[in-house]
Structure 1
């Protein structure tokens, strides 16, 4: 049998009853899989048997240690449907002479501590992803394994010592894994990571990486696997500082939520930008023009100026009474102290906290000059003196961030005073509320308002920084939203993922360099993924017809997967029968294995849902996908970004374009919906297709 052909499943002999030499290769690999599962179970039982009663000093330490043990037990879970290893490396010579390593999702060792499975993130595993015939990295043979329902059914060998023209090698198992039907949440791609993806995954923690990638290039998976790698390489540091994945909406986060747990990482938090800035209840919606202005980075300058306007230079001295002595700090000296704090440009709250200590220090200097010997306790007491506290309240009053934003959006004169030279008069009118709210609680805050409040909060008190943040679908963020995310990683790093061609918000970024500057990561390294692995070549080529009209100059994705028949564009000839034709296409798609999506303009979803129900077709909404209830999801076009389905039925592209505020945004929305299919796309329309599709 050829070395590259997957072997058929064969009866699995008992390795104890048959000498190892007599076992065929597939049977030996199955025996190693069983032995590895036994070893993993032993590792888990060893942790479960730990008795911590005599090793903790108090209940707090006991609780912390027990939580760590519980986490370790969860990490060692043996998921029967998940292959324990997916590859093998046989090395030639040098440091790994004659050694063989099985590459898997987690480390497994036997009773002697020898590795039976090596974690895919370990340095030795890097060769599995990057070795080639041109640069074998000391690897003699790379073996890939095929599984069905968790059972090892095939293997495929690549001999890296045999030169071939052009270093060409097509792995059938690799292609089968990429094309394997999916139902439910996103899977990890740990068995199919490509060399260019692996370089990004293993990039250092210290640097921020921005990944520009078109549909199907795996940018989301790369970002998630980079988190898993960083947690492996820098676990202690990131355990202290924290890691966060930010997605565009809850449906998207639900779609990706199983990837990191499948890789053994259970403690990574997930959130949307709206979750990060949720300091007030969002009940209002901005017009597009108002949202664009509120999302402009210039609003940060307006907020800063408005906040600092609350500081009043002192005109009266401070008289501190201690016992029989009085200590007077004149107004000019107080003004010098206040001006110094303003010039240092530290946060409003930090400066306010420092002011009483500065005044107290001035008093202590006078005490020492009078022959007294005050210490730090005296200074703290003076800082709490009623006269000092009254002076601080008058000079540097406390400011509530939400009230500050409320006043800016409600008070014409206050906004004009602090936006002068920053916002035009028209822009000021655009963001002013037509019906000013009386209080923070009664205000109908919008999502953009919440971001402004978050900015103001950070101006008052520093936002805690995390060790690493992953920001997905980043092209849709406003400059102020970038600043909100950047505040969460000021002392850490970030992985920024997106596609400029898929920017569908009125404030979508047109340049990664500009976006990274707003994020506070101007020195980030920008990588571009142009090789597509998920979307068939025929489908991505069809969608790419839109690129010159919406994102000229952006590189077209070149899919490595050719799939004849994957694209079907149909015109519905009978007037008024589009709904019926769409339902029929869904029925056809359900004959295939895997997940099915019906994607339509938001305004068409209700009617199509009724049409599906009328014929008894059960369907789900994005984020509700399971492996039991239904394989069909009805997806509004506005929620399609970042999601993948085996087969997609796309309803009336022209309606999707027309549903957006302008043609360019509409074409980008259409581009997103056209590129959600992994195996097949059916496009149905009644009147005309957008002319940009040809």
Structure 2
């Protein structure tokens, strides 16, 4: 059990010693920041550009050394049986925290949780102590150290037992944005966090297994272990919507990583302004991987084999390249399967090379400068433009969506007549800018753009809620990590889009990472056992191949079903939860949210919208079911499950949406209903 402050010397002395080390560590961190702020770089750089870069790096370093008063500087301690180094240079005791802190002599006072020596804090067990004699966990109230708990891993007299402090940290009330789990990472999670950068990892995680936190902590770990490489190549976190991104945006900064970009798929492919929507049928066709073949055909459809040769005038001489020879060059480039833009860049150089061969045969000695000059001549430029005319990706997609004959030609043998009809717009817009582009259209434009010009690749991409992406969206994400790696996070049982994936193997193939390994997390830490057991009744209908999730937590009285007469009873259920500590989420079908908002207002209960939790101290959030994915609240009232199911285009998708909504609670869930519950929950 945790050891709290007391008047007993046996209890107080170790605790006071730990508090003294915390105070000394905070003082050392302040000294590190002060030392960095005092750096004078006036005469250490060769030019103003280097000075600006160095100044920016110092500013980032200063920001990373901030002491967050309400955040524990360290959360654990390891006492090893032996010194880490054989020569005894590194000692046996290490404090594990969110960042590295050293004293004035450079000796570590806190070790970064990502350092190799810290791994034992998460993975050592009685069966495999990894040379750890003592593992100590610390309990905090805000930034004040209030308790500690010891595990003697090499003591045979001490049995295996659950950590009360670990349990308390998991159950600590959630008000505001998502927080890190750095103090509570479990062994199976730590293995995923520390997986090598070179490989792509796909995490199939049941609700409450911490897959989102694993992905974010993996980013922080990779930036620690491969900072130089990833600083050059870049990292990216992709979430399902802006509300979700606002919810998770503080996790990486609390871990000391301030520069990681976070975005949505829609913003990622934002080459055109999205202002329209698709029918379910059109969206399904546009998201199908076959559209990549249609677009490839369309991009190359304008190629024309030349009828006339190219004549280049150099001084008093004329050099001619026959039309047949230029056509051979075009065909060779097409067979190489390179990007269209690369072919347009290569063709003038190849034509120029043939001219140089003729010059050499005539006794001249041209060099590379002559070849470049020939490639830029009007005759060569005109020949290239005629054979490989410029392609504007947005205009090309617009033509596919508005020109039935052009679409039929490019989709012949790929899409059937009904699918082509679903793609076509009722009328053509006046311009690309005025077009009513949908989110799926923007992905098509992005694909076409990549067919013309290669999309730059990042070093690592984390994709959360990945089960909801279409094959074409997977391709768009895959382009951003074509030479890097990815961490894919999701739960097939929570897929709620018309194109939601039923197979991670297929998803990884679309992503361009068919060799990625799939790992499954089934042990939950967030959702109480009674709640996840109830929600799992839906699994046979929504994801029969998945293992049923379990939970390490069993909160007494955490779950209840209440038949109600109207919205007044739903408001009363919210009020009951507001009498307890922690956040409260009222989740309802999108169509019922306005009426519930009005009822809450009339009852004098102010409510937030998802994402506002990061900027307000209010505790009640009204969550439309369509935005519930990825969010969590201490207490949840789920209004009218049947309406949640009915709000989706088909029953399986509706049941999947209901599964998401049922699994957002950390401490307790009350299901309220006036209509009969879905039969799958019986």
Structures share fold, TM-score greater than 0.5: yes
**Post-superposition offset of 1:38:** 0.5
- Residue 572 (structure 2) pairs with residue 584 (structure 1): yes
Cα 1:112–1:437 change in 2 (3 A) is same
2:129 pairs with 1:136: yes
Matched, 1:494 2:509: no
Match runs of 1:656-667 below 5 Å: 656-667=644-655
The alignment yields a C-alpha RMSD, in angstroms, of: 1.4
Contact 1:183-1:627 within 8 A present in 2 as well: no
CA displacement, residues 580-629 of structure 1 (integer Å, 9 cap, x when unaligned) = 01111111110111111110000011111111111111111001114644
Q: Which moved more, 1:23-32 or 1:667-676?
A: 23-32
Deviation at 1:568? Answer: 1.1
Contact 1:94 1:138 in 2 (8 A): no
Residues 124-203 of structure 1 aligned to structure 2 (within 5 Å): 124-163=117-156, 168-203=160-195
2:433 is aligned with 1:444 = no
Could you tell me whether the CA contact under 8 Å between 1:12 and 1:30 is conserved in 2? no
1:613 aligns to 2:601 (yes or no): yes
Distance apart, 1:303 and its partner CA: 0.3
- Is the alpha carbon distance of 1:393 and 1:128 closer, same or farther for their aligned partners in structure 2, counting shifts above 3 Å? same
What is the aligned residue count?
A: 678
Tell me, yes or no, if the aligned pair for 1:260 and 1:266 is still in contact at 8 Å: yes
Q: TM-score, normalised by structure 2?
A: 0.98
Is 1:309 matched up with 2:316?
no
Q: 1:82 aligns with which of 57, 63, 71?
A: 71
Provide the residue aligned with 1:53 in structure 2: 42
Counterpart-to-counterpart distance in 2, 1:164 and 1:363: 87
| Closer, same or farther: CA 633–143 of 1 in aligned 2, 3 Å | same
CA distance in 1, matches of 2:431, 2:483: 35
Determine helix, strand or coil for the equivalent of 1:24: helix
- Answer whether contact 1:533 1:559 (CA < 8 A) is retained: yes
> 2-side partners of 1:647 and 1:224: how far apart?
24
1:684 equivalenced with 2:676 (yes/no) = no
Match of 1:17 in 2: none
- Give the distance between the partners of 1:190 and 1:163, measured in 2 at CA: 28
Task: Say if 2:52 is the partner of 1:63.
Answer: yes
In structure 1, how many angstroms separate the alpha carbons of the residues matched to 2:92 and 2:156?
22
For the 8 Å contact 1:87–1:144, the answer to whether it is kept is yes
Q: Distance in 2 between matches of 1:277 and 1:85?
A: 40
Task: Provide the residue aligned with 1:101 in structure 2.
Answer: 94
Contact 2:176–2:617 (Cα < 8 Å) also in 1 = no
Q: Does residue 484 in structure 1 map to residue 469 in structure 2?
A: no
Greater mean alpha carbon deviation, residues 453-462 or residues 682-691: 682-691
Once the 2 structures are TM-superposed, how far is the Cα of residue 553 of structure 1 from its aligned partner? 2.0
Counterpart among 102, 112, 120 of residue 113 in structure 2: 120
Taking the TM superposition and a 5 Å limit, the aligned residue runs for 1:116-515 are 116-163=109-156, 168-515=160-507
Deviation of 1:435 after TM superposition, in Å, equals 1.5
Change (3 A) 1:628 1:11: farther
- Equivalent residue number for residue 586 of structure 2: 598
Alpha-carbon distance in 2 for matches of 1:36, 1:199: 29
> Contact 2:238 / 2:464 at 8 angstroms: preserved in 1?
yes
TM-score, normalised to structure 1, is 0.96
Per-residue deviation, 1:309: 1.0
Of residues 624, 629, 635, the one that matches 1:636 is: 624
- Which of the numbers 103, 112, 129 marks the counterpart of 1:110? 103
| Partners of 1:197 and 1:550 in 2: CA distance | 25
The Cα shift of 1:436 comes to 2.0
Instruction: Kindly state the Cα deviation for residue 22 of structure 1 after the two structures are TM-superposed.
Output: 12
* Maintained 8 Å contact 2:176/2:616: no
Residue 376 of structure 1 and its aligned partner are, at CA, apart by 1.1
TM-aligned CA deviation for residue 95 of structure 1: 3.7
Picking from 561, 573, 593, the partner of 1:569 is 561
Shift of 1:162: 2.3
Any idea what the Cα deviations from partners look like across 1:380-437, whole Å, max 9, x if unmatched? 1111111111111111111000010001111111011110111111111111111222
Contact 1:133–1:164 (CA under 8 A) maintained in structure 2: no
Task: Work out the CA distance in 1 between the residues paired with 2:211 and 2:142.
Answer: 27
Task: Write out per-residue CA displacement over residues 535-562 of structure 1, whole angstroms, 9 at most, x where no aligned residue.
Answer: 0000000100111111112111100101
8 A Cα contact 2:137 2:149, kept in partner:
yes
Secondary structure at the counterpart of residue 625 of structure 1: helix
Shift of 1:438: 2.9
